[in-house]
């Protein structure tokens, strides 16, 4: 097990309905040492890529993106969630469905901050069905920038998101891929990664 | 002028209605070097305080809080904005009015992550009328924790928020305090700080 898998086993809580709570260290309270270690690991996994910008989405992706940005030495742009349709023409927009909140958000990035010259690393905390990630990819492609890679903290390997993204040919790295969870025993199985 | 004031003069954009756009380096695209420098400066300004936790609010406060957390070597907790009244009893709640979005949000922090033993540094990107900050203070006080200090990137000194917070006796440090802006000339005047 790597450092993140170990932390999930230690402090993650498995709830019924394939819910994995990691709010004590990843997405409500955030362990600054863990953030730093994740940033360093993303740099190792995307060491051969010439990244010019990190793109993430509010809110919990921001912490990991900022930690990673120190290692890549590039700016972070975060996509904003917006309920309003009333957007001016200066933004890239994607529509993202949230299964957790059972609603649909517009996700926007100002056109000023992504361009055809950019080589983008997309970072987020969770990947399950992949709707948010597809929105970030769509926004990046709209700008003419190149998606050089996608770094995820925790992927739910039993949901379809990761498979779809890999099938599309993107270089996706998830630090921990959960294959299955058992809420009665409180256990988590991870996919083997080299 | 300090580093943040210089950056505001260089890259900030003054818009009619006392709007200061800093989205190219602070709250949409984020300059990782600036984040780091702000984190270091907050550590310098609160060097005598024994901080155990940094509290911020989604979304743009998170980046600054994470940068500061490296210098304080403490976890970050971010308050979540929630429209739903349907909250379980395990959270501290404050009601926050947003003048920008003309709506009201519940702001929540899980009770697991703030306790009477905590010495809290509250961090946010902007302080204007102070509603969000009052919510974070209220949540901290509810938990029995001590507000050791409040670190803000940009304070609008011509609005009431900072004055109220200082009158209440809190140790508030704003890295840049804007006294006035002129959208026709595109100029910004800062309050002198030692």
Q: Are the beta carbons of B62 and A66 separated by less than 8 Å?
A: yes
- Could you read off the pLDDT of A155-165 as tens digits, one per residue? 999 999 999 99
Contact of A108 with A80, CB cutoff 8 Å = yes
Indicate the average pLDDT of chain B.
94
Domain boundaries along the sequence of chain A: 3-180
At B82 the pLDDT is 82
pLDDT confidence of residue B194: 74
Q: Quick: pLDDT tens for A26-48.
A: 999 999 999 999 999 999 999 99
Handedness of CA A165, A172, A24, A78 (dihedral sign): negative
pLDDT digits (tens, 9 = 90+) for A40-69: 999 999 999 999 999 999 999 999 999 999
Residue B35 contacts residue A66 (beta carbons within 8 Å): yes
A182 in reach of chain B (CB within 8 A):
no
CATH class of B3-187: alpha beta
Do B159 and B129 contact (CB within 8 A), yes or no?
A: yes
Q: What global pTM score does this model have?
A: 0.95
**Residue B164 distance to chain A (closest CA, Å):** 28
> What pLDDT, on a 0 to 100 scale, did the predictor assign at position B103?
82
Tokens 């500061």 found at: B68
For residue A95, how many C-alpha atoms fall within 13 Å in the half-sphere facing its CB?
A: 4
Give the architecture-level CATH label for domain A3-180: 3-Layer(aba) Sandwich (3.40)
Cβ of A67 within 8 Å of Cβ of B66? The answer is yes
DSSP-based three-state secondary structure for A20: strand
DSSP 8-class letter at A129? S
Contact between A58 and B63 using a beta-carbon 8 Å cutoff: no
Q: Cα separation of B4 and A183, whole Å?
A: 48
CB contact A74 to B (< 8 Å):
yes
Kindly report which listed range (A2-6, A12-16, A150-154, B103-107) carries the lowest average pLDDT score.
B103-107
Cβ contact A66–B66 (<8 Å): yes
pLDDT 10s digits, B134-170 = 999 999 999 999 999 999 999 999 999 999 999 999 9
């Amino acid at each position: 097990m790597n450092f993140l898998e170990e932390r999930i086993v230690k402090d993650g809580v498995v709830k019924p309905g394939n819910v994995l709570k990691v709010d004590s260290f990843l997405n409500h309270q955030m362990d600054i040492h863990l953030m730093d270690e994740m940033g360093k690991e993303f740099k190792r996994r995307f060491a051969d890529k010439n990244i010019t910008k990190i793109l993430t989405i509010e809110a919990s992706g921001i912490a990991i993106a900022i930690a990673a940005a120190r290692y890549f030495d590039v700016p972070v742009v975060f996509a904003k969630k917006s309920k309003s349709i009333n957007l001016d023409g200066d933004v890239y927009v994607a529509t993202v469905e949230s299964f957790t909140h059972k609603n649909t958000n517009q996700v926007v990035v100002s056109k000023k901050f992504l361009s055809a010259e950019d080589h983008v690393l997309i970072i987020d905390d969770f990947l399950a069905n992949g709707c948010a990630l597809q929105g970030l990819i769509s926004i990046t492609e709209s700008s003419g920038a190149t998606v050089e890679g996608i770094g995820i903290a925790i992927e739910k390997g039993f949901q379809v998101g990761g498979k779809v993204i890999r099938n599309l040919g993107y270089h996706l790295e998830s630090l921990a891929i959960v294959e299955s969870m058992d809420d009665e025993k409180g256990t988590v199985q991870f996919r083997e990664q080299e």
